[in-house]
Amino acid sequence: MGNDSSYKDKKVITIGIVKELTGLSERQIRYYEERKLIFPDRTQGGSRRYSFADVEQLVEIANKIEDGVQTYEIRQEMVREKKRNDEAAHKKMIQGQLNARFGVRKH
């Protein structure tokens, strides 16, 4: 395999299959998309395509909703998590540049 993204990230699953895998209705899945909690790709014909990671995310969202968490709160947590991940990646990149510049090697 090449260094393409993981199979979990490939957007190849139709909404019908997502319904079967998650137990959610098409309406619920579309609502979570409207609330910017999930981001399917679109085919040229406009059909939604989801990844296995999307399916996992939808199950997590449904569980949180069932526990009484509002979609706004879920979205805010997703934004915070993305920011933490971006900051961690940035810090790692800077550290790598510093290590390369000053010849630091991990032992």
pTM of the predicted structure, to 2 decimals: 0.75
Q: What is the pLDDT of residues 72-99, one digit of tens each?
A: 999 999 999 999 988 988 899 998 888 8
Structure tokens belonging to residue 72: 């706004």
Contact 105, 99 (CB under 8 A): yes
Phi-psi region of 46 (alpha: psi -120 to 50; beta: other; left: phi over 0): left
CATH architecture for segment(s) 1-69: Orthogonal Bundle (1.10)
Domain range annotation of the chain: 1-69, 70-107
Q: Is the pLDDT of residue 5 over 80?
A: no
